[in-house]
């Protein structure tokens, strides 16, 4: 055996053990590192686990919220359904006919009343042109052209208007209606129009009945008055024998009383017609100054009898304007005869007609130096049958209806009337009338 | 009252159509005092029958509302569409009640004049009828 061999075996073993120990140490160190890394990872996982748990909890809450919201939406949906159903029920059950059209005048929606009144079913009219489905006819029976219909005006100008026309039903029968067309504007955008109409057959019949009543009352009241009038006339003329002076006197009173009655019946009939809205207004180009002058001439006799001084101030700027001359004449006649009757002998009456400063109105002024209206009775002067105390004795003939009629005529013409008065000093009546004139009224009776 | 006998209207025939008897009487009396020869009728039927028998009259005094179904307008329509002399007879409508539409229709049909009874004395109506007929002659 060599030295090498004797030394190396235990040395080699020790060396190997050292190496092993080092390796173990390394491994041990690596294990420590790994253990540390694992510990770190474990910590990290713990954090992630916590986060997951937190997220899981949040999801649970969110889930609860979503379920709650879903419930709410379901309720809202139900509500909306109900509201929709209610709205539909409301539109459906509106007693008046209703149709909604789009910008091109095609029918979008109609209600039950429309179906019932006109005879069409919703399915038959949806999407179709309003003009074809519901033609309109005027009071003379002529078809109203598309361009003249209210609907066209609303579609163009976005305004609301009302009119009375007749519709043609599905079966081509006529139906008088009053209709209103209004624009539909959503968030500032014009999207269509709504036409609502009502069957006025009943109203028309009532109107006709009223007119016939006034006509009949007129006839029944006037005929006996004519009899008394003409028979008195014959007696007074001596046609059936000579009368004694006393008989003559008594008959004169009968005749005068009868004349007052005739005037009263006429006036009452005018009032009836004005109130029932059946009086005819027929505007035509009218020279108001010529008319006023003419009324003054008519009263010439009475003016001269009472030695009254009449001054007429008529501006040349007043143009011919649209008015019903019959009604205007009544206004002048009433105011002038009042001035004449209620002014003592030798008094002054002034009539003025001029144009307003803005040239949009006609101004009329009639003043007198007469008995005036007592202050405590001034508020009643335009009421029916009212006559102020201070004139009732002096003049038994007034009906108390003249000013009521005048006021009605002026106000129907969109004008104004008022007065200033002082007892025993005089009265002035003021009237303004719009220059654009009186509106035509398709009434059925003339005021007499 | 002194009645002047007017040569041109003396003996002229008038048909008065009026439903109120008292008015009919007083109108007849007044017209006769003015030398007219008067026939009366209270319905359109009576009036037409008389015209058929008499052939014609010089003037007709017509009320609007009458007894029976037809009224003054029906009568005037009938006369104005007649082929013979009836078309030319001057018709005076004297009524208390015809509505403005009716008045327009009367005028369009060609009546000579319309009077509202209550607004005229009997004398004045008769005087106007007289002067109308006198002017016709000329």
Question: ipTM of this model?
Answer: 0.86
Per-residue pLDDT of chain A (448 residues; tens, 9 = 90+): 555 556 677 888 888 888 888 888 888 888 888 888 888 999 999 999 999 999 999 999 999 999 999 999 988 888 888 888 888 788 777 888 999 999 888 999 888 889 989 999 989 999 999 888 888 887 667 888 888 888 888 888 887 777 778 898 988 888 988 888 888 888 888 888 999 998 888 888 887 777 777 777 777 888 999 999 999 999 999 989 999 999 999 999 999 999 888 888 888 877 777 776 656 666 788 899 999 999 999 899 889 999 999 999 999 889 888 888 888 988 999 999 999 999 999 999 999 999 988 888 999 999 999 999 998 888 888 887 788 888 887 776 777 888 988 998 898 888 999 999 999 999 999 999 998 866 666 554 555 4
Give a yes or no: residue B10 inside a domain. no
Task: Using pLDDT thresholds of 50, 70 and 90, give the confidence band for residue B44.
Answer: very high
Contact list in A for residue B123 (CB cut-off 8 A) is: 233, 237
Q: How confident is the model at residue A6, as a pLDDT?
A: 62
Asked if B100 lies within 8 A of A219 by C-beta distance, the reply is no
**pTM for this prediction:** 0.56
Inside any domain, residue B5: no
Dist. CA A159–CA A60, nearest whole Å: 57
Radius of gyration of the CA atoms of chain A, in A: 49
Size of interface A-B (CB pairs under 8 A): 59
Phi/psi of residue B61, nearest 5 degrees: -105, 115
Contact (CB, 8 A) for A314 and A296: no
Residue percentage of chain B with pLDDT more than 90: 64
Residue B9 domain flag: no
Contacts of B116 in chain A (CB under 8 A): 448
| CB nearest to A444's CB, from B29, B30, B99 | B99
The per-residue pLDDT for A310 is 95
Classify residue B59: in a domain, yes or no. yes
**Domain assignment of residue B98, given as a range:** 43-134
pLDDT of B134 over the 60 cut: yes
Number of domains in chain B: 1
Q: Does A215 sit within 8 Å of B33, measured CB to CB?
A: no
Task: Give strand pairing partners of A367.
Answer: A350, A428
**B67 inside domain:** yes
B17 within domain boundaries: no
| A222 contact residues in B (CB cutoff 8 A) | 96-97, 117-118
What would the pLDDT profile of B114-126 be if each residue is shown by its tens digit?
998 888 999 999 9
Asked if A262's CB is within 8 angstroms of B118's CB, the reply is: yes
A214: nearest CA partner in chain B: B97
CB contact at 8 A, A267 and A401: yes
Please indicate if any CB of chain A lies within 8 Å of the CB of B71: no
Whether B117 has its CB under 8 Å from any CB of chain A: the answer is: yes
CA gap A259, A217 in Å, rounded: 18
B12 within a domain of the structure (yes/no): no
CATH number of the domain at B91, please.
3.40.50.2300
Rounded to 5 degrees, φ, ψ at B93 are: -95, 120
Q: Which helix (H) or strand (E) holds B71?
A: none
Residue B54 lies in a domain: yes
Would the CA dihedral through A403, A405, A408, A411 be positive or negative? negative
Q: How far apart are the first and last CA of chain B?
A: 28
Tell me how far apart the alpha carbons of residues A193 and A96 are, in angstroms, rounded to a whole number. 16
Contacts of A227 (CB under 8 A, 6+ apart): B20, B22, B23, B26
Question: Choosing among B4, B26, B94, B104, which should be mutated to test the A contact, i.e. which has the most A CBs within 10 A?
Answer: B26
Residues B75-124 pLDDT 10s: 999 999 988 889 999 999 998 875 677 788 899 999 999 998 888 999 99
Three-point CA angle A362, A312, A352, nearest 5°: 25
Our measurement of the distance from residue B125's CA atom to the centroid of its chain's CA atoms, rounded to an integer in Å, reads 11
Question: Does the beta carbon of B107 lie under 8 angstroms from any beta carbon of chain A?
Answer: no
Q: How far apart are CA B59 and CA A133, in angstroms?
A: 55
Contact B26 A222 (CB under 8 A): no
């Amino acid at each position: 055996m060599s030295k090498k061999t004797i030394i190396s075996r235990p040395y080699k073993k020790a060396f190997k053990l050292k190496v092993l120990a080092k390796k173990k140490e390394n491994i041990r160190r690596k294990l420590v590192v790994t253990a540390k890394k694992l510990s770190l990872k474990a910590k990290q996982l713990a954090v992630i686990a916590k986060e997951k748990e937190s997220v899981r909890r949040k999801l649970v809450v969110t889930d609860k919220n979503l379920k709650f919201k879903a419930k709410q939406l379901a309720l809202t949906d139900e509500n909306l359904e109900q509201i929709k159903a209610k709205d539909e029920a409301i539109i459906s059950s509106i007693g008046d006919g209703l149709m909604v059209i789009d910008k091109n005048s095609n029918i979008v929606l109609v209600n039950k009343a429309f179906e019932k009144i006109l005879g069409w079913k919703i399915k038959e009219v949806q999407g179709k042109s309003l003009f074809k489905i519901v033609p309109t006819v005027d009071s003379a029976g002529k078809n109203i052209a598309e361009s003249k219909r209210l609907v066209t005006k609303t579609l163009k100008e976005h305004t609301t208007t009302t009119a009375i026309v007749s519709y043609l039903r599905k079966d081509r029968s006529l139906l008088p209606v009053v209709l209103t067309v209004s624009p539909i504007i959503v968030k500032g955008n014009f999207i269509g129009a709504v036409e609502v109409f009502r069957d006025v057959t009943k109203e028309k019949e009532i109107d006709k009945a009223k007119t016939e009543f006034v006509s009949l009352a007129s006839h029944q009241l006037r005929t006996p008055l004519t009899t008394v009038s003409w028979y008195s006339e014959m007696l007074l003329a001596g046609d059936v024998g000579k009368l004694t002076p006393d008989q003559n006197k008594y008959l004169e009173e009968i005749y005068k009383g009868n004349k007052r009655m005739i005037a009263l019946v006429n006036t009452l009939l005018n009032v009836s017609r004005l109130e029932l809205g059946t009086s005819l207004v027929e505007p035509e180009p009218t020279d108001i100054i010529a008319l006023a002058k003419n009324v003054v001439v008519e009263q010439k006799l009475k003016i001269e009898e009472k030695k009254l001084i009449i001054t007429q101030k008529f501006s040349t700027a007043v143009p011919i304007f649209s008015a019903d001359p019959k009604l205007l004449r009544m206004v002048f006649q009433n105011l002038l005869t009042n001035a004449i009757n209620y002014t003592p002998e030798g008094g002054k009456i002034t009539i003025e007609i001029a144009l307003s400063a803005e040239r949009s109105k006609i101004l009329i002024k009639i003043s007198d130096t007469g008995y005036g209206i007592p202050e405590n009775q001034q508020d009643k002067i335009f009421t029916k049958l009212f006559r102020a105390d201070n004139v009732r004795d002096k003049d038994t003939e007034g009906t108390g209806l003249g000013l009521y009629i005048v006021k009605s005529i002026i106000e129907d013409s969109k004008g104004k009337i008022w007065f200033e008065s002082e007892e025993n000093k005089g009265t002035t009546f003021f009237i303004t009338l719009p220059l654009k004139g009186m509106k035509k009224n398709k009434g059925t009776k003339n005021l007499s | 009252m002194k009645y002047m006998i007017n040569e041109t209207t003396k003996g002229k025939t008038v048909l008065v159509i009026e439903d109120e008897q008292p008015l009919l009487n007083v109108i007849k009396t007044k017209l006769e005092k003015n030398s007219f020869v008067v026939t009366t009728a209270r319905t359109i039927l009576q009036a037409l029958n008389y015209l058929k028998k008499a052939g014609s009259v010089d003037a007709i005094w017509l009320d609007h509302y009458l007894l029976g179904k037809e009224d003054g307008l029906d009568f005037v329509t009938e006369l104005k569409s007649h082929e013979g002399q009836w078309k030319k007879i001057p018709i005076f409508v004297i009524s208390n009640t015809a509505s403005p539409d009716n008045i327009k229709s009367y005028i369009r049909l060609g009546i000579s004049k319309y009077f509202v009874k209550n607004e005229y004395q009997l004398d004045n109506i008769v005087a106007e009828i007289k002067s109308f007929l006198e002017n016709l002659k000329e």
